[in-house]
């Protein structure tokens, strides 16, 4: 395998991933860092952005440096760069690395194979899973710390095996990683124990706005700039809330009005089954998928409600 060969013949490997690294990015980086060490190669992990608090438990995390630019004296030593889970070469935010020999390991379908060596497998549940093949080809036996990092990559990218990439291959990898020492319960607890208090405060306020319409088939929630202020929260803290009300028994469509700025309302739409909310979003210049879409409405909250909600009732009647 080309990747294993490239690693084995390198002297100094710089490993990176996309900005705002997630579990697959950071878990894969740290496992590969350890693999390089076992292969007798010098290696560093460098990222533009710090890790989320939920990943603070990852073994060897202290080895991952966060920097705006790769220092020139480090760059001079590096003779191989590995980009993990980057669908494009700009993703790590380190243009200074691009002239180097580059290994591109990714599982995005649209990866344009920008590396000197490319290992791109859209069937892979996570890049962490692909590194099992790299370890095997390089003759590296999995350690418990490596298994912990790769299991974290797998479990975060498959949403606790609840996404469509929870394939037989994902479960085969999980089995192998647990056999090698990954502890699913401890990892799950570590991953889930870092919800900021402000998110819970905001959740209380937003869920308090819940309205059910059309005999409980439509759930509507709202977040205002005042609520953000009261909770000390940020717009991105609202991210998962529409899924909480989408899961209500009997609800077919969930609508989330986010009135953060004057005269602009962000509207998120989720549906279950054959109810196409993308069409409604498109009518307002928005986009997305059949069951998950969004739009930006220019007007105030009452105007947004008056414009959007009747369209949802129509969708329900047609379905």
Residues in contact with a second copy by CB under 8 A are 53, 155, 160-164, 166-168, 171-172, 174-176, 178-179, 184-185, 188-189, 192-197, 200-201, 203-208, 210, 212, 216, 219, 244-251, 272
Distance CA 122, CA 117 (A): 16
Structure tokens at 108: 């995005």
- With 0-12 / 13-18 / 19 or more C-beta atoms within 10 angstroms meaning exposed / middle / buried, residue 61 is middle
Cβ proximity to a second copy, 139 vs 216, nearer residue: 216
Residue 53 DSSP label: G
The least distance separating a second copy from the CB of residue 76, rounded to whole angstroms, comes to: 39
Three-state DSSP class for 23?
helix
Cβ proximity to a second copy, 210 vs 307, nearer residue: 210
Distance CA 271, CA 275 (A): 6
Q: Which residues pair with 12 in a beta bridge?
A: 42
Cβ proximity to a second copy, 98 vs 204, nearer residue: 204
The least distance separating a second copy from the CB of residue 251, rounded to whole angstroms, comes to: 8
> Are the C-beta atoms of 132 and 179 separated by less than 8 Å?
no
The least distance separating a second copy from the CB of residue 315, rounded to whole angstroms, comes to: 18
The least distance separating a second copy from the CB of residue 58, rounded to whole angstroms, comes to: 16
> Are the C-beta atoms of 169 and 129 separated by less than 8 Å?
yes
The least distance separating a second copy from the CB of residue 317, rounded to whole angstroms, comes to: 21
Cβ proximity to a second copy, 84 vs 206, nearer residue: 206
Cβ proximity to a second copy, 2 vs 179, nearer residue: 179
Residue 58 DSSP label: S
The least distance separating a second copy from the CB of residue 100, rounded to whole angstroms, comes to: 37
Q: Which residues pair with 218 in a beta bridge?
A: 213, 253
The least distance separating a second copy from the CB of residue 225, rounded to whole angstroms, comes to: 19
Structure tokens at 217: 């088939």
Cβ proximity to a second copy, 130 vs 180, nearer residue: 180
Residue with tokens 């606790």: 160
Cβ proximity to a second copy, 166 vs 301, nearer residue: 166
Strands 42-47 and 102-106 turn out to be unpaired
């Amino acid at each position: 395998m080309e990747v294993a060969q490239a690693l084995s013949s390198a002297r100094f490997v710089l490993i990176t991933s996309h900005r705002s690294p997630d579990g697959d990015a950071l878990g894969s980086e740290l496992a590969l860092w350890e693999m390089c060490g076992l292969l007798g190669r010098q290696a560093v992990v460098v990222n533009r952005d710090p890790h989320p608090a939920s990943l603070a438990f990852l073994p060897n995390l202290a080895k991952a440096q966060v920097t705006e630019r790769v220092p020139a004296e480090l760059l001079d030593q590096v003779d191989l760069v590995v980009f993990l889970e980057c669908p494009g070469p700009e993703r790590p935010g380190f243009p200074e690395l691009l002239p180097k020999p580059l290994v591109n390991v990714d599982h995005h379908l649209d990866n344009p194979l920008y590396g000197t060596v490319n290992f791109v497998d859209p069937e892979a549940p996570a890049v962490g899973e692909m590194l099992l093949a790299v370890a095997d080809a390089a003759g590296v036996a999995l350690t418990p710390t490596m298994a912990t990092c790769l299991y974290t990559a797998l479990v975060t990218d498959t949403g606790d095996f609840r996404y469509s990439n929870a394939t037989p291959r994902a479960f085969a990898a999980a089995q192998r990683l647990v056999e090698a020492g990954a502890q699913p319960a401890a990892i799950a607890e570590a991953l889930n124990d870092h919800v900021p208090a402000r998110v819970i405060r905001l959740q209380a306020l937003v869920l308090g706005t819940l309205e059910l319409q059309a005999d409980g088939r439509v759930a509507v929630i709202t977040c205002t700039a005042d609520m953000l202020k009261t909770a000390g929260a940020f717009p991105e803290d609202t991210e998962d809330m529409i899924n909480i009300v989408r899961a209500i028994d009997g609800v077919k469509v969930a609508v989330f009005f986010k009135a953060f700025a004057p005269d602009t309302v962000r509207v998120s739409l989720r549906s279950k089954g054959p109810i196409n909310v993308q069409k409604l979003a498109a009518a307002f210049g928005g986009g997305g998928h059949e069951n998950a879409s969004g739009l930006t409405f220019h007007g105030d909250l009452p105007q947004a409600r008056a414009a959007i909600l009747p369209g949802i009732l129509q969708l329900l009647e047609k379905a």
